[in-house]
Amino acid sequence: MALAASISLSVSSHSRRSLVSVKPFRSSIQPTIFKSGGTLRNPTFRISASSMSIETPEKISQNSFFDRKESGFLHFVKYHGLGNDFIMVDNRDSLEPRVTPDKAVKLCDRNFGIGADGVIFAMPGINGTDYSMRIFNSDGSEPEMCGNGVRCFARFIAELDNLQGRRSFTVHTGAGLIVPEIQDNGKVRVDMGQPILTASDIPTNLPANKDQAVVRSELEVDGVTWNVTCVSMGNPHCVTFGTKQNKTLQVDDLNLAELGPKFEHHIMFPARTNTEFVQVLSHSHLKMRVWERGAGATLACGTGACAVVVAAVLEGRSERSCSVDLPGGPLEIEWNEKDNHVYMTGPAEVVFYGSVRI
Ligand SMILES: N[C@@H](CCC[C@H](N)C(=O)O)C(=O)O
Per-residue pLDDT tens digits for 335-348: 999 999 999 999 99
Using one digit for the tens of pLDDT, what is the confidence trace for 273-295? Answer: 999 999 999 999 999 999 999 99
Whether residue 160 sits in one domain with residue 247: no
- What is the bridge-based pairing of β-strands 321-326 and 329-335? antiparallel
Whether residue 251 sits in one domain with residue 214: yes
Q: What is the largest CA-CA distance in the chain?
A: 63
DSSP one-letter code for 353: E
**Mean pLDDT confidence for 296-325:** 98
**Mean pLDDT confidence for 256-261:** 98
Whether residue 254 sits in one domain with residue 129: no
Whether residue 89 sits in one domain with residue 65: yes
Whether residue 284 sits in one domain with residue 217: yes
What is the distance in A from the centroid of ligand 1 to the CA of 296?
10
Whether residue 185 sits in one domain with residue 302: no
Residue 46's pLDDT is: 30
Cβ–Cβ < 8 Å for 335, 174: no
**Mean pLDDT confidence for 127-141:** 98
232 lines ligand 1 (CB under 6 A): no
CATH number of the domain that residue 20 is part of: 3.10.310.10
- Indicate which atom in ligand 1 lies nearest the CA of residue 298: 1
Cβ–Cβ < 8 Å for 145, 234: yes
Q: Is the pLDDT of residue 142 over 60?
A: yes
Whether residue 154 sits in one domain with residue 68: yes
Whether residue 163 sits in one domain with residue 17: yes
Q: Is the pLDDT of residue 43 over 90?
A: no
97 lines ligand 1 (CB under 6 A): no
- Indicate which atom in ligand 1 lies nearest the CA of residue 137: 7
Using one digit for the tens of pLDDT, what is the confidence trace for 175-187? Answer: 999 999 999 999 9
Whether residue 106 sits in one domain with residue 78: yes
Using one digit for the tens of pLDDT, what is the confidence trace for 84-125? Answer: 999 999 999 999 999 999 999 999 999 999 999 999 999 999
Domain count, the chain: 2
Residue 61's pLDDT is: 52
- What is the bridge-based pairing of β-strands 329-335 and 84-90? unpaired
List phi, psi (to 5°) of 173: -135, 175
Whether residue 177 sits in one domain with residue 277: no
Least confident of 36-45, 72-81, 172-181: 36-45
Residue 97's pLDDT is: 98
Cβ–Cβ < 8 Å for 26, 56: no
Residue 306's pLDDT is: 99
Please list the active-site residues. Answer: 146, 301
User: Which residues span the domain enclosing 239?
Assistant: 199-340
Whether residue 126 sits in one domain with residue 241: no
Whether residue 312 sits in one domain with residue 229: yes
ipTM exceeds 0.90, yes or no: yes
